[in-house]
Structure 1
Amino acid sequence: MDFLLLILGLCLSWWLLLALLYVTKRGNLSKVGKLPPGPRPLPLIGNLLELGSLPHMSLTKLASAHGPIMSLKLGRVTTVVVSSAPMAREILQTHDVSFSNRLIPDTITALQQDELGLPWIPVAPLWRNLRRICNVHLFAPKTLDSSQQIRRRKIQELLDYIGKYSETGSSVDIGEAGFTTTLNLLGNTTVSVDLADPTSESAKEFKELVWQIMVEAGKPNLADYFPVLKRLDPQGARRRMTGYFGRMFDVFDRIINERLQVREIPGSVRKNDMLDTLLELSENKEEGMDLFLMKHLFLDLFAAGTDTTSSTLEWAMAELLRNPDKLLKAQAELEQVIGRGNPVEESDIARLTYLQATVKETFRMHPAVPLLLPRRAGATVQVGSYTIPEGTQILVNVWAVGRDPDTWKDPNQFIPERFLGLDIDVKGQNFGLLPFGGGRRTCPGLPLAIRMLHLMLGSLLNSFNWELEDGVSPETMDMGEMFGLTLKKAQPVRAVPLMVTK
């Protein structure tokens, strides 16, 4: 409501001036070439009112009327939305070079995140250095293999925590438990510390902080649609984001300073984790690494890695509880391959084809970042018979791509079997399934996220049977969504775990 009032106030105050600018720019665009089709924009505000509270759904509905590539006017920003696998291929592969940089939301300029945050910086030397650090030092298979014991320990702590609910017959919040485990998995892999105690409020507070960052980055902001307002920050979004980033940096400052003090002690033993690796790069002045850049890299890892992984786990459990026959199939495979109640190892995942299919089907129906991160046309590009002008915002609606009936049969049904026997992965080469994006901007944390997600889901299914809490049946489960930069389940999944005996 506040957003709508701000829009109306803006319309009343600047009607004549912005109407003139709008008409002028539309005239200039018509000289450049033919934009993709789209809904007729209103003066000044364009198509802003058509986004709604769930823009991925609103844009999918618009695409059904205007086609898999369409243009909109969001305030002063020309936006092209693609909603099919062939169009996604055009953007993320054929013209990846032209569309590889970002259109930066105003909130992301807080504390120089747009200049130092890996997801946002342009493809340039700093970006290449950070990608190389991720690929060579942080997420290389050898590095991840060496930290398996950490993840094994954190998974056992998750099972012990769930076991307490099993003993009392009470329901557990799957999303909360998954977030705490994901946070501590990342914490121990990167900085060798737990960042949350599942029995305290710390995990819930950290989760709320991460979600606020996602909401602030994803919700409509007048400063993004009317750049002349950026200096005013009319909704206070950048100010709030500065506070959220600052609280995250305070956590990282404490951890980094404690490690630096330990490293100064003669004979101290190195942790050989990501933090030690980054500190050594900084001390040796390699890859442009320094302490401030290090904090931004940790911000990217923790903000993106915790929320997306735990949210996907919650959606997977929701779909399995809603489809008990699929749940039984997944558990039957675990029993056959591993034995019910036995620990799931990362080396087992390759043999658990139905578990893999379940995760892929969850990614298809519930991509963690439904519109990916916004791209910016670096040059005027011809896509098919349409012209995309330089500076245009590009949105890839992977939520719509995953539910496109031209690609997927019964797209709104949860059917893991559709992936069995098919060579389809989530690494950005199959354009009908793009939960981590594609092209050169594919998420660098994909290898770790995939390991953690399969390990957590497989362990929960193999160690416990699950029942919905009283009053909830598969038919009455609320599957509503809540939109930020990421997609969250509106109503938390609560289920009763029943211990499985070996």
Structure 2
Amino acid sequence: MFSLFSFQLPQPLLNVLIGVVLFWLVKYLFYTIKRIRSLPPGPWGLPIVGYLPFLKDHVYLQFDQLSKKYGPVYCLKLGDFDVVLVCDWPHLKDATSNDALLARPYETLIPGGGDNRGFSEMSGEPWRQHKRLSLHILRNVGLGKSKIETLIKEEIDQFLATLDTGGEPVDFSEKIYPSISNNISILLFGHKYDYNDPAKIAMDRAQMGFTSLFKFAGVLAFLPWLTKVFFLLGKFDVQFIQKNAQAIEKFIQDEVDRHRENYNENHEVVDYIDGYLEERKRREKQNIPEDTFTLDTAKRNAGAFFGAGSETVHSTMEWAILYLVKYPEYQDKIRSEIADVIGFENRPDFADRARMPFTMAFIHEVQRIESIIANNLLRRASEDTKIGNHFIPKDTLVMFNFWSVNHDPKLWVNPDKFDPTRYLTEDGTKAVKPPYLIPFSAGKRNCPGEGLAYVELFLYLVCMVQRYRIKVEPGTEISFEAVFGISRRPANLPLFIFEKITQ
């Protein structure tokens, strides 16, 4: 019977094959060692998986601890990738202004989700074109203008009505999320939704489910080839993540379909989808290749804007409400500013923030101490570069640990203490946000919705404190334990009582 072991290669050919294999191994080891020696120092991991098995849920805390041992810039082998962590302000400031660190990883944000990318996942010229177009459209339809502030105020009026429960405790997170996501819906889709709209309820739940489980620094990001295996085995919540991603895509697909049905060249551009369809028509008329300007990209962009425009503000407001209840004296201080600047009969304007320094200081301190986005979306070095004196080879991934900067005792006195007064000038008349507080990142890849987020945070906070005394039932424990997905959110948000203030 034929046996594999009975098969023999001629000795000369066998010698050649052995030589080729040895040459390849030596060459691989040489370049691997050379690359490791060129990277910043860091801990050794395991073969294939690197340091991944040692990472826990709150990776930003581990990244911070490792920086105390290996320095503020160090390297981890995470799965398939060399990842450089940046954990202090001087190097972070340098990195965010470095054009060689604007690229994204070659893999898409959701491994296994196909090759289609949104502009937040793009690199190089495609990213620049889509960012330029997106900002142009969003500004034309209201971003940064008084029009959107007026619409946000109208939305807040509807939201406040849901808190009028006659003193009965309410699920604050459940009440505020559909309101906040309505604001970004106006810019993206040209309208908001009724709180009872089944499609919108499903979209909000899918978005919250996705952002609660997906992690920028998770296993799927660094071992993308395992995604299909995990999906089949039902591991690492891959099925749930993809199910929610598909629900989000379907919601946006329905919006795109409606816009396409109603689109004509004389139609006024009132939202992002309109503007994107108009750009596609312009390119078609001028015989410009479609390239990345596809309907799939439009959907991906809209999904990214919807998620980013909802999640950060929602998480920040959850933390803010906890601190208002934990420290009722801060409610009193904000309410005192409201009495002096706005009164209790008038709606607040975003311009009022200039005369309400403690209110703005409170918002800044919530952003700092809770570091809502503790790590950034991964970056990739598009060429050999440096961060400070540290050499960063081409295609190395780079991650910023904002948590470390926000809790650095060199920058903040008693960094673990919640203290809004740290932003106030000596006479208390101004709130000064230091340059190293960057809750929306910095540089050319900072969050384009930063301005909108601050409008929402200020108006929602002021409107609630202006109208209600916020508290919990006696004996309720206030916990600041967090859960970490894309953002950090309170793990145990209690029910809140919104007691109407009578003048």
Shorter-chain TM-score tier = 0.7 to 0.9
Rounded to whole Å, the distance in 1 between the matches of 2:135 and 2:394 is: 31
Indicate which of 210, 230, 234 corresponds to 2:230.
234
Rounded to whole Å, the distance in 2 between the matches of 1:425 and 1:130 is: 30
Q: Identify the residue that residue 462 of structure 2 maps to in structure 1.
A: 458
Q: Identify the residue that residue 39 of structure 1 maps to in structure 2.
A: 43
Rounded to whole Å, the distance in 2 between the matches of 1:223 and 1:399 is: 22
Q: Identify the residue that residue 67 of structure 1 maps to in structure 2.
A: 71
Amino acid at match of 2:252: F
Q: Is the 8 A contact 1:106 1:238 kept in 2?
A: no
Q: Identify the residue that residue 278 of structure 1 maps to in structure 2.
A: 276
Pair 1:350–1:202, CA change in 2 (3 A): farther
- 2:220 matched to 1:218? no
Pair 1:278–1:497, CA change in 2 (3 A): same
- 2:388 matched to 1:392? no
- 2:104 matched to 1:102? yes
Shift of 1:271: 6.9
The secondary structure found in structure 1 opposite 2:146 is: helix
Rounded to whole Å, the distance in 2 between the matches of 1:31 and 1:136 is: 41
Shift of 1:495: 1.4
Shift of 1:34: 4.1
**TM-superposition CA deviations, 1:348-395 (whole Å, max 9, x none):** 233322222111111112233211101112223233443222222211
Is 129-138 or 479-488 further displaced after alignment?
Answer: 129-138
Rounded to whole Å, the distance in 1 between the matches of 2:467 and 2:475 is: 24
Q: Is the 8 A contact 1:117 1:300 kept in 2?
A: yes
Q: Identify the residue that residue 436 of structure 1 maps to in structure 2.
A: 440
Rounded to whole Å, the distance in 1 between the matches of 2:124 and 2:432 is: 28
Shift of 1:226: 4.0
Q: Is the 8 A contact 1:222 1:235 kept in 2?
A: no
Which runs of structure 2 are paired with 1:90-489 in the superposition (5 Å)? 90-93=94-97, 96-103=98-105, 108-112=110-114, 115-124=116-125, 126-139=126-139, 144-163=145-164, 165=165, 167=166, 169-195=167-193, 197=195, 205-218=202-215, 222=219, 224-226=221-223, 229=225, 232-235=228-231, 241-263=241-263, 270=268, 272-285=270-283, 289-340=293-344, 342-421=346-425, 424-425=432-433, 430=435, 432-472=436-476, 476-489=477-490
Pair 1:341–1:464, CA change in 2 (3 A): farther
Amino acid at match of 2:383: A
The secondary structure found in structure 2 opposite 1:244 is: helix
Q: Is the 8 A contact 1:207 1:307 kept in 2?
A: no
Shift of 1:155: 0.7
Q: Is the 8 A contact 2:118 2:298 kept in 1?
A: no
The secondary structure found in structure 1 opposite 2:136 is: helix
The secondary structure found in structure 2 opposite 1:494 is: coil
Pair 1:172–1:50, CA change in 2 (3 A): same
Residue identity (%): 23
Shift of 1:410: 1.0
Amino acid at match of 1:77: F
Rounded to whole Å, the distance in 1 between the matches of 2:238 and 2:449 is: 26
Q: Is the 8 A contact 1:71 1:78 kept in 2?
A: yes
Rounded to whole Å, the distance in 1 between the matches of 2:82 and 2:421 is: 40
Pair 1:291–1:35, CA change in 2 (3 A): closer
Rounded to whole Å, the distance in 1 between the matches of 2:386 and 2:32 is: 17
Q: Is the 8 A contact 1:139 1:448 kept in 2?
A: no
Shift of 1:117: 0.9
**TM-superposition CA deviations, 1:147-183 (whole Å, max 9, x none):** 33221210100111112x2x2x112222222211111
Rounded to whole Å, the distance in 2 between the matches of 1:450 and 1:64 is: 33
Rounded to whole Å, the distance in 2 between the matches of 1:22 and 1:470 is: 69
Pair 1:223–1:486, CA change in 2 (3 A): closer
Is 341-350 or 171-180 further displaced after alignment?
Answer: 341-350
Q: State the TM-score, normalizing by the size of structure 1.
A: 0.83
The secondary structure found in structure 1 opposite 2:124 is: coil
Amino acid at match of 1:485: I
Amino acid at match of 1:180: P
Q: Identify the residue that residue 11 of structure 1 maps to in structure 2.
A: none
Is 289-298 or 478-487 further displaced after alignment?
Answer: 289-298
Q: Identify the residue that residue 14 of structure 1 maps to in structure 2.
A: none
The secondary structure found in structure 1 opposite 2:214 is: helix
RMSD value over aligned CA atoms?
3.2
Q: Is the 8 A contact 1:107 1:241 kept in 2?
A: no
Q: Is the 8 A contact 2:384 2:391 kept in 1?
A: yes
Amino acid at match of 1:479: F
> Number of paired residues?
466
**TM-superposition CA deviations, 1:387-414 (whole Å, max 9, x none):** 2222222110101110111111111111
Tell me, which stretches of 5 or more residues in structure 1 are unaligned?
A: 1-16
Rounded to whole Å, the distance in 1 between the matches of 2:278 and 2:315 is: 33
Shift of 1:319: 1.8
The secondary structure found in structure 2 opposite 1:335 is: helix
Amino acid at match of 1:312: T
Shift of 1:139: 3.6
Q: Is the 8 A contact 2:361 2:423 kept in 1?
A: yes
Which runs of structure 2 are paired with 1:18-33 in the superposition (5 Å)? 28-30=32-34, 33=37
Amino acid at match of 1:137: I
Pair 1:78–1:467, CA change in 2 (3 A): same
Rounded to whole Å, the distance in 1 between the matches of 2:269 and 2:444 is: 31
Tell me, which stretches of 5 or more residues in structure 2 are unaligned?
A: 1-20
Amino acid at match of 1:209: A
Shift of 1:470: 3.3
Rounded to whole Å, the distance in 1 between the matches of 2:223 and 2:270 is: 47
Amino acid at match of 2:134: C
